Amino acid sequence: QILVFLAAVAATSLACSCLEQTPEQAFCSADWVARVKINSRTESYPDGSNFYNIQHDAEIVEMFKKPSSLSSLPSSVYGSTICNLCNVDAGKEFLLAGTYYDDKLKFSLC
């Protein structure tokens, strides 16, 4: 039981660490990069996971990099509470970058 607990703590702490990248490397490794205005946020835990469980209703102000399979700009982006650092405030604009998966724009601390 102790080993399971230690493994869970280690996994959580590793989940909150990121490889250092220059802005150019971060741009190149991201599926999408955009200036986004956050209008509101909704938390949910449908599968018990903390990954990408916050839906941010958002306006894409300017898209700098877009996945080729994305035909229209979505009205939501998804963040995570796993590190408690990805919380963005409603009414503010942010430069966000992330992955495109399951037809959703997702961002994280990295």
Per-residue pLDDT of the chain (110 residues; tens, 9 = 90+): 554 444 444 444 445 556 788 989 989 999 999 999 999 988 776 666 656 678 889 999 999 999 999 989 999 998 876 655 556 778 899 899 999 998 999 987 65
Domain ranges, ordered by start, for the chain: 18-107
Give the global pTM: 0.73
Q: Does CATH place domain 18-107 in 3.40.630.30? A: no
16 labelled ligand-binding: yes
Residue 5: strand, helix, or coil: helix
Indicate the residue type of 101. Answer: Y
H/E stretch holding 4: helix 2-15
Phi first, then psi: give them for residue 3, nearest 5 degrees.
Answer: -65, -40
